[in-house]
Amino acid sequence: MQIELTPRHYEPTDRIKKYVEEEFRKLKLFENLITHCKVILEKSKDGEMVEIALHAAGKDFIARAITNDMVKSVDQAIAKMERQLQKYKEKRKSH
């Protein structure tokens, strides 16, 4: 799975880049569905936002999280994406 990382308004540290890649290992269960993944890391006055856009099995999924810490935002966005993919996978299985 290829992850495209796009920072906005700041330069992410190597620690954050590595953390994003490690957290995406949680989505290994859905790797056969995922064709493309884009992660946007952004700092703004509202907080630190992470947006994940996935293209999987002909469908697009988006998860977004905003907190005061980039690591927490990554965790929340990954958790949201995991729930969406699990629900989609179960729907495909039941049909």
For the chain, which residues make up each domain, given as ranges?
3-94
Rounded Cα gap, residues 81 and 9, in angstroms: 24
Q: What is the pLDDT along the chain (95 residues), one digit of tens a residue?
A: 788 999 998 899 999 999 999 998 888 888 888 888 999 999 998 899 999 999 987 899 999 999 999 999 999 999 999 999 999 888 888 76
Q: Pick from 84, 73, 85, 80: which is nearest to 40 by CA?
A: 73
CATH of domain 3-94: 3.30.160.100
Rounded Cα gap, residues 69 and 67, in angstroms: 5
